[in-house]
Every structure is written in structure tokens, then in C-alpha cells.
Amino acid sequence: MLIDTHIHLDAAEFDGDRDAVMAAARAAGVARFVVPAVEVANFDRVAALSATHADIVHAFGIHPLYVGGARKEDLDVLQERLAQGRAVAVGEIGLDFFGPEFDRITQELYFVEQLKLARRFGLPVVLHVRRAVDDILKHLRRIEVPGGIAHAFNGSRQQADAFIALGFRLGFGGAMTFEGSRRIRSLAATLPMDAIVLETDAPDIPPAWAQGGRNEPADLRRFAEVLAGLRGASPAEIAEATGRNACAVFPALASG
Ligand SMILES: [Zn+2]
């Protein structure tokens, strides 16, 4: 089963043609969509998407690049929403130290508090990790959560193995489609198959064939084909294995 484990379907980029975008993805064989939130302000939108579509599930979380606009009370809102029991994960959360001006202290504060909420509610986490792999691993070793996904993974093999040892899967998508992404392609080719899930991160990270355009969930089928080519497997085998892995992370996907 093809599952897009990371898609921002609520994004404004899809306001004009969301239904058509989803119809195209379903026609391409994408059977489930995991929609993470990025801030309290979009919790209602992602929850409404999953309430009205049987093939969509949602996660609630505060993204590291949104902590600047967040208030401490937002963590209380998050806790209340998680207590309602409908979110399949805490996410999108994490650390992003890409820009020297990024506020590490505030990001770490929100990340740690959200890991504690995931532990408390027994939920996996959807991780945004940029220039912060070792920092993320440090916190995950201290605050044990029931696994999750390191989305758009771009680290070393050693770091990948550390995530896997902590019960995490690694998300691969648009970056894998570039010939020049040698490290990511080599990881996608050689990591244990049960460690890999597919994602688009649409509308972000357009693949090689859509540069300057919009990433769309229908692209997931071609991502599966790219991964199949890298691993010498059939697209059907890739869909089956990555779908099984995604359901292991988010058990609600298997039932929906
Ligand atoms: Zn994202």
C-alpha cells in the first residue's frame, strides 16, 4: 500500500485544487495520507481534513520553525488536543539549526516538552531534523517515545543506524530523485528495508522532474519507482514494504 507519511495537505498552496490533487494521488495508488500540523493555528484545519476523509490521518505538533510565534500556552492546547485521542502522532516537531540566527534554546524547549507529551500519551513522533541530528538523538535517548519517523532524512549511515536502534523509521521522498543526492540515494539503496517509509512533504521539496513547481502527493508513485530502481526491487515490493512500515509506526493507518 502506498502511504504518503508526510504531506501538508492543509497548506494554502492546495486551496485552489485540493480535491483534484487528492483525486490524482488516489488514482496514482496512494491509499493513505499522514498530515502533520506545524502550529496551533492549523490544528483545526488538519483535524478537519482527517475528519472528512477516511484515507487521511493527522498529527498535532509545533514545528521548530514556528516556535518563534508560539506561546507557552500552546503546549497546553496541544496537550488537550492529544488527550482527545484522534491524533496518530505528535508532529511535526524537531530541531532546525540551519540558520545561525535560529533560536536553539526556544526550539529545544518546545521539542523537549513535546517529546514528554508523546511519551505521556504513548504516541510516535514525526521529526523535522535539519543540521541537528545528534542533538535530536541526544533528546530521544533521554525521553523515550514509541518510535516515529525522521522525516526527509539526510544524515550519515551511523546516524541512520542510531535512529533505527531507537525504533525509528527514516522518511525518503523528493531529495532521493536527484542524481546528485548521492548520500541520500546510497542510504535509500542500502538501509534495511524495514527502516524506510515514503513521503512527499508536498507542497515542499519538489522532485527532480518538478523543479520550480509544486510537489504533489501523486508523485509518491514515482518516488516508489525511484526507490525500487535504487534497491533492485519491484515497485510493488516497495509499496508493500514501505506501507507495512508506515502502518507499524502509525497503527491507525492499517485499520482506517
Ligand atoms: Zn513537513
Nearest to 36 by CA among 86, 112, 87, 83: 87
Which domains are seen in the chain, by residue range?
2-255 (3.20.20.140)
Position 204 scores a pLDDT of 85
Mean pLDDT of the chain: 96
Mean pLDDT to the nearest integer, 9-28: 96
Percent of the chain with pLDDT over 90: 91
Instruction: Please give the model's pTM, rounded to 2 decimal places.
Output: 0.96
Give the model confidence (pLDDT) of 149-207 as tens digits: 999 999 999 999 999 999 999 999 999 999 999 999 999 999 999 999 999 999 988 88
C-alpha cell at 11: 497548506
Q: Is the pLDDT of residue 256 over 80?
A: no
Q: Kindly give the distance from the C-alpha atom of residue 91 to the centroid of ligand 1, in angstroms, as a whole number.
A: 9
Give the model confidence (pLDDT) of 103-138 as tens digits: 999 999 999 999 999 999 999 999 999 999 999 999
- Quote the crossing angle between the two packed helices 157-165 and 182-190, to the nearest 10°: 40
d(CA 173, CA 22): 18
Q: Decide: 203 and 11 in contact? Cβ < 8 Å.
A: yes
Q: Kindly give the distance from the C-alpha atom of residue 201 to the centroid of ligand 1, in angstroms, as a whole number.
A: 5
Q: Kindly give the distance from the C-alpha atom of residue 176 to the centroid of ligand 1, in angstroms, as a whole number.
A: 16
Give the model confidence (pLDDT) of 199-211 as tens digits: 999 998 888 888 8
Position 213 scores a pLDDT of 84
Q: Kindly give the distance from the C-alpha atom of residue 92 to the centroid of ligand 1, in angstroms, as a whole number.
A: 6
Q: What is the DSSP letter of 211?
A: T
Residues 6+ apart with CB under 8 A from 186: none
Q: Kindly give the distance from the C-alpha atom of residue 6 to the centroid of ligand 1, in angstroms, as a whole number.
A: 6
Position 205 scores a pLDDT of 80
Give the model confidence (pLDDT) of 23-45 as tens digits: 999 999 999 999 999 999 999 99
Q: Is the pLDDT of residue 255 over 80?
A: no
d(CA 78, CA 81): 5
Q: Decide: 43 and 69 in contact? Cβ < 8 Å.
A: no
Number of Cβ within 10 Å of residue 42's Cβ equals 19
Q: Decide: 147 and 169 in contact? Cβ < 8 Å.
A: yes
Rounded to 5°, the CA angle 211-149-161 comes to 100
Mean pLDDT to the nearest integer, 80-95: 98
